[in-house]
Structure 1
């Protein structure tokens, strides 16, 4: 039995109508195609459309199939795999289709709110120890967005990164041990003027996008005009971008399906490692993320082989937050990576 849930269209700005900020949009799309890239940190000026773009992407993505009533948004196949010892028949499950979950984590959230805790009401009135799911459960198979992540407690950031990397959330509370799936794309945003994340945490984000205020007067006028049209009649405005939205949606779906078929040559892999070595990148996360992101980009461009152009487009996104900080250095991190890339690849 299949149930389609037709939710009322929310007032969300179309992803394809967003002007500029190509680096941020590319980073988000690549993470949606391959969530194992490890999320994206978006740093930039206030009022540059960070939150608008992230909500727009979540609205753009196709609906997912879930088991009706499942608190973790699990698909029928996931339920079947987890409960196969109980001989569950997934053909008898009620199925719903929902929009990709988009969970926003408030800065004041506690660890219990994030991970889940004991259901106090059941404990008091029924004497039963029961688990009350947190935000990590709601974000499963979706996007978890933390605005001003650089102001969030480091301990909570660590929990989010661990769950995003492992795909599981493990809770030990008052004699209860719970393990549930927690696969999500972690997106953090912030203003660098308000402080940076510790390097140890920053390194664990897959990509790092920097966005700046648009300086071109013509583009600024265009952005203001588009926003005014959206506010005046958002239903007509969304309708006018429906075709473009569907085109991007189908490209993402196709890229997700073809991702496993994309190959990268040994010679390019060697050059990627040489680039990370020349830039003195600690650890191997940089190498791994470049490999994954380049494959996701090639798949999005409907190709089965990674080329040098793919690597050039994503290497700064993958490495700028992994460079060692030198207060005496005047060169921008992006330019430093670009210079090293040209030296090695060209």
Structure 2
């Protein structure tokens, strides 16, 4: 009974479970396929990819599964598509980060022509790929894009961290809303107010959003087992989105050191910081977070800081230096038990059925 919701009917899913999309290269085709083939909605975060990369990812997913999947983009917020930073600001930030580059044996990369792919090219590639779902964060896709999605039969899914954001998404014509609580790992995807002002917890936010909008609500943040799923559905959600539990699976593209730390006592201690990307995000507290936090107000915003840290994090991952990586993690990592996605999906479905179908 609990598996029959507006979300499962609309998307053709066997269970109302959405795998959270991971940006920055930690999504994987293997994870998307495993989740979608298990009856959930696999998702791939493509905000770091150009048009060719998006086409390649969509093609590789389709070669492995005929089941629905989602592609996720970041809507340009503020000046993110064409950031304003002068050479002096660039040099100051490079000098701040130079000791870490040196420690990892890296040369500081020169200033690029662009700090991130062009959104206009990304969205055209997503529309051409025609995934079952186009999900997005940090804002609302334009009316033109939403209209094209309707024409192409693509379901749209926007993220909200407040009730007002959920209402704005519904008014714009978005099909479904992900109500994202502050317990979630990764980025706080606020867009109407500052991320620091949009930190409602999941189980406070979900029933308020469910009361405020008529479109299906998907609960996200701090959900890692059947108890979280049952609670979210009871509070009015039509599905759940789970991130950290899937990130910890061997199919994800997270570095092995990162995945291992998700099962460690360190994962009990997470913090919100802008030091890794220029935007507020939750991860396991480590040395780099602590040392850069006093400089957070002077760091450039996204995508400039994200570009600086990209090369640094890549080398740290290759050297298994968890102290110098971004270790995205939600607040419920202590509940993790499964290390492969199919086993996780099976457990989530069976254990939620035991809770809900049997009263």
Q: Which has the higher contact order (CA 8 A, sep 6+)?
A: 1
TM-score by length of 2: 0.28
TM-score by length of 1: 0.28
Larger Rg: 1
The structure in which a higher percent of residues are helix is 1
